[in-house]
Amino acid sequence: MNITIRKIGNSEGIIIPKDVLDRLGLKAGDTLAVEEKNGGLVMTPMDDEFERQVAHAERFMDKYKVALKKLAE
């Protein structure tokens, strides 16, 4: 499958065909993790539970930033 990178506002992006989205159970607003691998890009749907845990960890680290910095010394 060939997909063209298109101008979208001040950015560039790709349009994923509807049949591919349907097969993968994806919809507008879902989050994909994108990583470079073997000279290409691999996109993987993010797990909602994992995303929630990362957000919680970020809030925790922000709240206890000073204490964590002291512990790291």
Q: What is the C-alpha to C-alpha distance for residues 53 and 48, in angstroms, rounded to an integer?
A: 9
pLDDT of 6 reads 94
Domain that holds residue 64: 6-72
Tell me the CATH number at 66: 2.10.260.10
Helix, strand, coil shares, percent, the chain, to 5: 40, 25, 35
Structure tokens at 14: 């790709």
Domain count, the chain: 1
Q: Is residue 54 part of a domain?
A: yes
Per-residue pLDDT of the chain (73 residues; tens, 9 = 90+): 889 999 999 999 999 999 999 998 899 988 888 999 999 999 988 877 777 888 899 999 999 999 999 999 8
Q: What is the C-alpha to C-alpha distance for residues 18 and 15, in angstroms, rounded to an integer?
A: 9
pLDDT of 48 reads 74
pLDDT of 70 reads 92
Q: What is the C-alpha to C-alpha distance for residues 49 and 69, in angstroms, rounded to an integer?
A: 27
pLDDT of 49 reads 79
Question: Any idea what DSSP says for residue 46?
Answer: P
